Structure 1
Amino acid sequence: MKLYLDGLFYKGSGIGRYYESLTKVFAKRSIKIYTCVPNNLRNDFEKSFSRNSNIKHILVDNEKNLKKC
């Protein structure tokens, strides 16, 4: 089974903690997980989940690019 989890709230309170718990549980059950992770949290994510080969992450820039008009 393959599953996509939206990881934009990774390291956030509430839904971010729920995301981390779900990711760990599904990975232990040999479910292949695809997830996006904010680029600024790359090191934290890789440290927490690098031992599990069932998790494939995509780094995204979640900060808004604000331009002065």
Structure 2
Amino acid sequence: MRSRKPKQGQVGHCVVPHNRERSAHAGLADPSVRRAIAAEVRKAGAAEAKAVTHLERAIAAMERR
């Protein structure tokens, strides 16, 4: 049986590190960083517009978790 002590940087009771905590290690949890990344991708050109919308959807999904 696993102990239920919450790990550092964890609020809930779940022991499994989900995307929010995983991305926090990469510094991606900061929304301003996410926005900067999205802006950089947007600058890359309108040809990648599909990729941008896909990225933004993925980011939104991450934030919902």
TM-score bracket for this pair, using the shorter chain length: 0.3 to 0.5
Structure number having the greater strand percentage: 1
Structure with larger RCO (C-alpha < 8 A, sep 6+): 1
What TM-score does the superposition give when structure 1 sets the normalisation length?
Answer: 0.32
Q: Which has the larger radius of gyration?
A: 2
